[in-house]
Structure 1
């Protein structure tokens, strides 16, 4: 159950969705001020967009998509392969047994799936197609020359760190930690030029700042990128970029605390606008001259 569902579960049934949202915001503010609630990089990245985006993220019901499941599988196969059979099971034998063009849409498959959910309540079902793709991608990573060099320099995987910065508590999960900090990314295109644009566009340098702050020292920071075509590229985020990420992270924490005090979580892009009224000004851009 999400935090939003927990907050509104016992709320009066006559409350509107807007009233439930306000109740959720007030509860969340109280929990952060009391030190109960913790931030993650993902939540902070939503706040960077806007306070409203942050609340939408916190209220969203968590559902695992195929893309998310693929990412979890590749991470497990690369970083902790011994855990894969403990956490996942596949439908390969059943789909072969049923046969046909769409075996997963049949009654027999749905009945089998229901039974398996009871037998393996703590395991996650993955389709045979998704598992095969994940294995190909993971193999591409562990056999890549640059990736192997970085993987050999980590001693801990899926490492959880809880820390506090400027009165706000954080929880971070590092893919790899040792002589270096490692982040494994499943991406649309691992082409080095394209992915390095994604690093900035997706705020991965800020994530590097968060994780470096969590570790407490500036270690070499690497990202291994792999796409569905099993192409792999490895990127060393240089210290200046990581320090820039730390600077932005610290600024965001300050803004987040101000937002808590002023209770401005209903604001959208007006939160960071140029004027007090929340309006953005636009002059003639240089390329039109």
Structure 2
């Protein structure tokens, strides 16, 4: 079976070193695992701007969304040998088995939004980490006003939870389900997008917010939600640490986006971990990621690494 050394993802901490960050991005992009992925799809290694070349290769072979939502991506099956090589490569590149944080203390924990199932799995992972493994002053569930699908609303009924007409509502349900000792602090107020605030008995602050999109032609994305949280709610201080929790195949691209939107602008340390949805204790939430999903998010990671490269301070 193919095996590769584990590649470190780009990192950023207070007074981070731009040259070191660029070196980490380059090491990730030119790693043996990435080279084998390119070879696996019978492409030549790109010359010149490697990240640009990888983005073009990924557009030809790994883009199953074609501009649509992830849930509507085309299904694709691969031969067993290709699947083996892809899964070994993405494990090295950080898209698998990155569920444990490196620190035991963070000022802020952010839970990325998504489909109701993903919100529930991620919030429960956050609760498990905060139950003795790590500590944090604040926890925030990041969402948007994306309308939920029929499948999400049906799942809410099956689970017996509150109705979830939007992703914001799905994240609110997920946070309240995972952290059972929350006490609501007032209402969302008149401002839009909406926000719910909570507090635990020991004083930890929780929020759930809906971020607006910075582009009227699409819904809010990862970068939008992180930037909105920092600008409108938290104003993280230099030297603070932020832990972001997502699903495992999103870790590299969301780590790159977090460095670009939080780490560099606010001089903060950022770290992203991801949970394996196949390990969810509730079978109704369980989902085994496909080879196509891993390849799609390798493409997302390439594009986010390229955006981060362009944002690194001179």
Greater helix share, 1 or 2? 1
Question: Which structure has the larger Rg over C-alpha atoms?
Answer: 1
Which TM-score applies when normalising by structure 1?
Answer: 0.23
Name the structure, 1 or 2, with higher relative contact order (CA <8 Å, separation 6+): 2
